[in-house]
Structure 1
Amino acid sequence: MDFNKITSVVFVCSFIFAYPVVGQDFNSNRVVNQSDHTAGKTNSTEFVQIADNEFISTDSGSISNAGSELLISQSAGVYDLTTLKLKNKIIPLIYPVYQLLDYFETKGDLGFLPQAKPYTKVFIAELLIKLIAKDNLSNREKRLVQQQLADIMQDYNGLKIYQEASKNTYAVAGFSAETSVRSGIGDNGTLAMSLLGEPYLSGDLGKHLTFTAGMGLAIERLTPDIFYQSYTRDKKVVFPYESVGYSYLPYQFNFDTMWAHVLASGTSGEGKPVKKDVTAGMIYHTELNGSWFDGAVQMSINNQRRAWGHDQNNLVLSSTARRFPGIELKIQPAKWIRYSYVMGSLFSYANQDSSYKSEIYGYELGQVQKNFTYHLVEFMPSRWLQISAGGGNIWSKRFELAYMVPFVMPHFTQIDVGDHDNLTMYFDVATLIPSVGKIWGGFLVDEFDFKTSGKLFRMPHNRYAWQLGWKSNLISELIPGTTSTLKYTRLSPFVYTHYPETEFNTFGSGAVDLTYTHDEFNLGFYLPPNSSELNLKLVNVAVPDLVLSLDNKLIIHGTNDLASTNIYQIYGDVYRQYYEEPGRAMIKYPYENFTKDGIYDWTVMSEFRFDWKLRNSGLLNYYRVVGSLGYAKTWWRSNESQVVAPESRNLITGSIGIVVEM
């Protein structure tokens, strides 16, 4: 199949989609009518219930306050959360509404938002309604919130095929799609593309349950970044996909389809997702969500991407982690405390063979047949202070009820079941001061020994990670609607790693991979161990329907030769375990000396992104045009590692795509 022809078709399709709205006047105050499909009518006044006996009334006119009612400039429609369709449907993390919520949380208008994301449709609607009712928001800010609220209140924003409603149920069959083209220009730059279509069925079962099921097909040519599957062996840094080429900035590659891909020409069976030729892959989404007691208790079974932290790139569970099916429980009995729990199934198609990468690492890594459990408690003693604690566990797939019980941190359970699994603890403290912003510090403990004397934080045996972050709206004084995030993340050597477990493999006699990974990607922070990242990100939401961002990073990562006869070195590879045996092996490892104790790669990068909603297409409420333009430079320093430093690399990347939401 001719890849150049397919790329041309993608560009033509993108132009056809965008053409009906390009050049048209866009009214930022326009809100699409919301109709009651059960009655088949459209009313001229809107009422949105904020709380008991409180409503927002909307009609044509200017914004004004009248007792408990707020009049908003609006065309028509009825917004009533009691009749909201698909109220418990999950809103994916890639939707622009999260940037708007970040902006107002940082301002102090929403307090501390729950760290466990994504949120449901009704939860986001309640937050937006709360914002509209605030007196301190400017008219411009209220228009931004109003537009997002109107979109959230729609029954659906995808392409409808059929819908039906009754007194207690509602169902809609629709179609979502995503088209994108990427290009890398520079050292080993190449083209990539993706054409994805996914039919879906969503519905409500009574007042408390919402479901979604979607399954689709993608025609893709996936091309990664330079460090995807990279390793250091035999005195050189190996780049397995150099012949394929790169279209992502270093360490930024990700994809949504299932791992196994076949050649689109049909000439080969299932295999790796990254190939020189065009491939076909599958994708599916599933969720069954329930909410009771006015949202105080939420339960969900889903395979959406998750982000459990103060930032989407956090230490515990980041949006860069591959989607996995899991069960979630969220409880908020009072305003000052929240509890969140997730248990999911982890796997890796590539690692079903026990010999996976054994020729690289010199030992059997183990099959990825494991589960993930994480508990998170958020305590807010005051409006400006939050203290959080979490406990996680990677454990071999077995029917261990002790790990399935909510409210019990895994470290307590391990006392009973034994030390056979990969446990972590997490703590963070955050402040939220309206004139300053949101400041947090988080600390993840993988393994820590206080009994050995010496420089504890430089001992490789002590595996940990930490993150300091500051989100602020101070720059909004110069550029309205802007949130800045300054963040530093440090991963120690061997954090997220674990030795292959041989005692609890219920699938065979081999070992089980218990690293903090899923489907070949990290669950926590996206970089490998022994890394750091300094990140400055600017996000602007000032223009209705348009989100702009500028993401700047300095990444440092170090490791050593996997083939070295000296195994007691500082490594930065999630599959290179820390050797516990023979006893007291920790004294054989040197103190870590970051940037000096191995070969280090240094990367500076900057990437501009936009996300633009286009309306008036006729078939859809809106669709989104997304794009990016970035640059990165990477260089290496060998130090005394005896590994040959590769030549520096430069890469410019660009992308353009169209998204029709589910």
Structure 2
Amino acid sequence: MITILPAQTHNAVSLDDQRIYSFLEQAELRGYIDRLPQVKPYTKSFVLGLLEDLNRTRRRMSVAEQVVFQGLYNNYVIDKDQDLLKDGDYRFDDEVFPFRVETSADMKISANASSIKDSAALAEGRMGASGDLGESISWGLALEMGLYKVDDYNSATSYGPTAYAPYSYSKDWEGGINYITSPNKYNGMPTDLALGRSYETEIAASFFDNQAEFRFGRLKREWGAVGESSLFLDGDAQAFMGIEGTVKPRKWVNFSFITGTLDYGENFREMDDFSIKGTASTQQNMFSLLQVELMPTDWLYLSAFDGGVFLKRSELGYWMPLMSRFLNQNNVGDYDNLALGGSIVVSKAGLGKAYFSLFLDEARFNHPDFFGNYANMYSFQTGIKGPVPGLPMTTAVLQYTKVEPYTYSHYYVDDSPWYPSSGDDNPGMETGYMNGGEALGSGLEPNTDEIMLGFESLLPQGISLNGGYRLVRHGIGQGSSFASWDDSPEDAGAYNTNDSKDFLKDGTYQWFHIGTLGGEWDLSSKGQPVSIGLSYSYVFSYYTDYKSNGDFTAIDTVNYENDTRHLMSLSVKIFP
């Protein structure tokens, strides 16, 4: 029996479903579909519409591309119902209230071959339900529980567990995590075997053939990722509860808004300070963002955003979809952390695209040394991406990202009307661009840059390949972490310093050379509800101190040692 859920299914297609998002982007680069909006996740009804359009013009694709497309078409559009042990779901058909219950599981082992004791592992189980209520409303929820273990890494030399490539680790759980040996205590990281959970839910509505979409829910989102990541709201950021909407009054313009509540958490450098009450007491934050996308021609894309993090309160200006968040802050008082930015993309179907994004956290445009002033906090990203000639469904990208010191962080807000300070026990409220201890935007720390060269290939039979090289350089001086800071004259911070920043030359920097090769094979098309992934990363790191030595020679001392890591991972998913 073939069961097709009604086309009005408006649940989000999870950002974890990387194959469908990669395919749609590659179809856009090749000119098979129109330019895609940069507000994700997409609704299932929107994705189904794109796949139906592609099916009508599939002859434009090569034979190999059609095979890849057909696999996705079968999974999302035809969506054939199978036995529970084949697809992991059970469906309840109804004209008004259809829904399904789904299960899945996954396991991952990440080995640091250079130090096996520093390896990591996780095992997770997931159960969820989703369905429709009438023609315009959909709902969904999912609970995931798992066991986790990572190494007790040195936060001075590694931003996150060492079994993962630098700046690639993201927590799979939310809130605190409970050690098996002390289940009543919440901890920041599973340095002992620990139990964690996550919960995602949504109520979504869509009207006028996806021209107006609204969602209330807790899930991962990605806005403005014209390159491999977003400087504003990245897909690797932790999920949060929010109300959002997108309106598309014309084919060439999209208007989107979101306001939500952020989770507490310590960044990976400060996990020893984690406390379910202590950490949360200074991180009572909300997040709001507006974005306008313009596509005046088939070769030009423009976007602009304003938004940021504000102290938790009923501030109606941040909830109003048509109100500028930046202007609203100036109307209600300077207690919040607002930002501006945007992107520009120039593209040619079949050839590729060139792009530039800017996140402007704070700026002193009248300062005589704009680029040397620590108070100028911004990040930018630029690159080129396109299909590889002769290789179906394969793309290559060259990208540069730079995050200036103190960007995404913020000074402590003392004595706000809503959260008055209480001395040493409460130094003030934190309003950094963070959620659950991880960045909302770029995962790179402040005072860091990255050069990336990568490729991705979608092959028939559910096979995906990816790989590349990254050069990451991170300063360890002032303004080089996500930690909040004091703006008093006694604490230099970004405002009260006479020093001038000079990237790579103003102090000690840690350099990472990272090479990665990986792949995944989804066996569902062969009747086996299993997906297997393998990856290998080579990491070589060292330190330089141009300010003291006058060159970029590796220091290699007791405190700044060279380091080599060989990282391998194996992942298995059941009912992927």
TM-score (normalised: structure 1): 0.77
Does the CA-based 8 Å contact 1:338-1:379 persist in structure 2?
Answer: yes
> More displaced, 386-395 or 585-594?
585-594
Give the match for residue 139 of structure 1.
63
> What is the CA–CA distance in structure 1 between the aligned matches of 2:316 and 2:220, rounded to whole Å?
25
Give the match for residue 500 of structure 1.
412
Does the CA-based 8 Å contact 2:15-2:235 persist in structure 1?
Answer: no
Question: Which runs of structure 2 are paired with 1:265-280 in the superposition (5 Å)?
Answer: 266-280=181-195
1:383 matched to 2:292? The reply is no
Give the match for residue 256 of structure 2.
340
Give the match for residue 467 of structure 2.
550
Change in CA separation of 1:505 and 1:348 when aligned onto 2, cut-off 3 Å: farther
> What is the CA–CA distance in structure 1 between the aligned matches of 2:382 and 2:113, rounded to whole Å?
34
Give the match for residue 520 of structure 2.
611
> What is the CA–CA distance in structure 1 between the aligned matches of 2:191 and 2:114, rounded to whole Å?
18
Give the match for residue 389 of structure 2.
476
> What is the CA–CA distance in structure 1 between the aligned matches of 2:467 and 2:50, rounded to whole Å?
26
The alpha-carbon deviation at position 436 of structure 1 amounts to 2.8
Aligned with 1:648 (options 544, 562, 571): 562
Q: Which amino acid aligns with 2:515?
A: S
Deviations 1:55-77 (A, max 9, x none): xxxxxxxxxxxxxxxxxxxxxxx
Give the match for residue 129 of structure 1.
52
Does the CA-based 8 Å contact 1:470-1:485 persist in structure 2?
Answer: yes
Does the CA-based 8 Å contact 2:344-2:357 persist in structure 1?
Answer: yes
Secondary structure in structure 2 of the residue aligned to 1:594: coil
Secondary structure in structure 1 of the residue aligned to 2:52: helix
Give the match for residue 579 of structure 1.
487
Unaligned runs of 5+ in 2: 550-556
> What is the CA–CA distance in structure 1 between the aligned matches of 2:212 and 2:489, rounded to whole Å?
46
The alpha-carbon deviation at position 338 of structure 1 amounts to 0.4
> What is the CA–CA distance in structure 1 between the aligned matches of 2:407 and 2:524, rounded to whole Å?
46
Give the match for residue 439 of structure 1.
354
> What is the CA–CA distance in structure 2 between the aligned matches of 1:356 and 1:502, rounded to whole Å?
24
> What is the CA–CA distance in structure 1 between the aligned matches of 2:493 and 2:437, rounded to whole Å?
31
1:289 matched to 2:289? The reply is no
The alpha-carbon deviation at position 298 of structure 1 amounts to 0.6
Does the CA-based 8 Å contact 1:366-1:513 persist in structure 2?
Answer: no
Secondary structure in structure 2 of the residue aligned to 1:414: helix
Give the match for residue 283 of structure 2.
368
Change in CA separation of 1:281 and 1:408 when aligned onto 2, cut-off 3 Å: same
Deviations 1:374-402 (A, max 9, x none): 11100111111011100112000001011
TM-score (normalised: structure 2): 0.88
Give the match for residue 2 of structure 2.
35
1:535 matched to 2:449? The reply is no
The alpha-carbon deviation at position 584 of structure 1 amounts to 12
The alpha-carbon deviation at position 516 of structure 1 amounts to 0.7
The alpha-carbon deviation at position 551 of structure 1 amounts to 2.9
Aligned residues: 552
Does the CA-based 8 Å contact 1:606-1:632 persist in structure 2?
Answer: yes
Question: Which runs of structure 2 are paired with 1:588-607 in the superposition (5 Å)?
Answer: 588-607=497-516
Give the match for residue 244 of structure 2.
328
Change in CA separation of 1:310 and 1:660 when aligned onto 2, cut-off 3 Å: farther
Aligned with 2:41 (options 114, 118, 121): 118
> What is the CA–CA distance in structure 2 between the aligned matches of 1:240 and 1:460, rounded to whole Å?
22
The alpha-carbon deviation at position 255 of structure 1 amounts to 2.3
Secondary structure in structure 1 of the residue aligned to 2:416: coil
> More displaced, 365-374 or 316-325?
365-374
Change in CA separation of 1:435 and 1:142 when aligned onto 2, cut-off 3 Å: closer
1:464 matched to 2:378? The reply is yes
1:261 matched to 2:177? The reply is yes
Give the match for residue 552 of structure 2.
none
The alpha-carbon deviation at position 514 of structure 1 amounts to 0.4
Q: Which has the larger radius of gyration?
A: 1
> What is the CA–CA distance in structure 2 between the aligned matches of 1:214 and 1:517, rounded to whole Å?
24
Change in CA separation of 1:240 and 1:102 when aligned onto 2, cut-off 3 Å: closer
The alpha-carbon deviation at position 98 of structure 1 amounts to 1.1
RMSD in angstroms over aligned alpha carbons? 3.0
Aligned-residue sequence identity (percent) comes to: 24
Deviations 1:66-101 (A, max 9, x none): xxxxxxxxxxxxx6x8x3474434333443111111
Secondary structure in structure 2 of the residue aligned to 1:325: strand
Secondary structure in structure 2 of the residue aligned to 1:103: helix
Secondary structure in structure 1 of the residue aligned to 2:389: helix
The alpha-carbon deviation at position 208 of structure 1 amounts to 1.2
The alpha-carbon deviation at position 644 of structure 1 amounts to 6.9
Change in CA separation of 1:502 and 1:531 when aligned onto 2, cut-off 3 Å: same
Does the CA-based 8 Å contact 2:505-2:546 persist in structure 1?
Answer: yes
